[in-house]
Amino acid sequence: MSMIETVNDVNNSFLARREITCNFRGLAGKLKKSEAVDMITKEFKLSGKTVIAINLKNHTGRPNILGTFYIYDDEKTAKIQVNPVIFERLEKQKAKETDAPAEEVKTDAPAEEVKTDAPAEEVKTDAPAEEVKTKEKTE
């Protein structure tokens, strides 16, 4: 028994894409879009095609996810029809997966230095000025 149940599989010839709606059983809260795309690609043997996860919807009170996927023969057609923000997110995610350890080391060190230097200077300059004002008011 498979974890993927096909609800709807339509060839949309007008938009030159295949639209698949599947139900993933027992994966609520555990499934990421990239993992769902990999599962669909393997299940329907779609290697070499552009598979985009459009919607993953959890069912309340049930461990099921309903997913909608668009399958294009070439990426050029997909970029014309699908929102460009989706492709930016996919590219960002791919870059993050490949360069994750290198980026973390580079970004952590400068961020800590900036955080520690800026507040310390503000506290030193603000504190004496407030004390002087309160002494003048009391006299």
14/73 same-domain check: yes
pLDDT band at 8 (very low <50, low <70, confident <90, very high): very high
pLDDT in tens, 112-139: 444 444 455 444 555 555 555 555 555 5
Tell me the one-letter amino acid at 55.
Answer: N
Has residue 139 been placed in a domain?
yes
Structural domain including 136 reads 99-139
**Average pLDDT over every residue of 52-62:** 93
Has residue 94 been placed in a domain?
no
The answer for residues whose C-beta is within 8 angstroms of residue 57's C-beta and 6 or more apart is 65, 66, 67
17/77 same-domain check: yes
Domain count across the chain: 2
**Average pLDDT over every residue of 84-88:** 92
For the ranges 57-66, 87-96, 105-114, the lowest mean pLDDT is seen at 105-114
Cross-strand bridge partners of residue 85: none
The answer for residues whose C-beta is within 8 angstroms of residue 17's C-beta and 6 or more apart is 70, 71, 72, 77, 78, 81
Q: In CATH, what number is assigned to the domain containing residue 57?
A: 3.30.70.3370
Distance between CA atoms of residues 66 and 104, nearest Å: 34
Pairing of strands 64-72, 4-12: unpaired
Has residue 92 been placed in a domain?
no
pLDDT in tens, 9-41: 999 999 999 999 999 999 888 999 999 999 999
pLDDT band at 98 (very low <50, low <70, confident <90, very high): confident
pLDDT confidence of residue 105: 47
pLDDT band at 103 (very low <50, low <70, confident <90, very high): very low
| pLDDT at position 109 over 60 | no
* % of the chain exceeding 90 in pLDDT: 57
Contact 23, 7 (CB under 8 A): yes
pTM over 0.75: no
pLDDT confidence of residue 114: 46
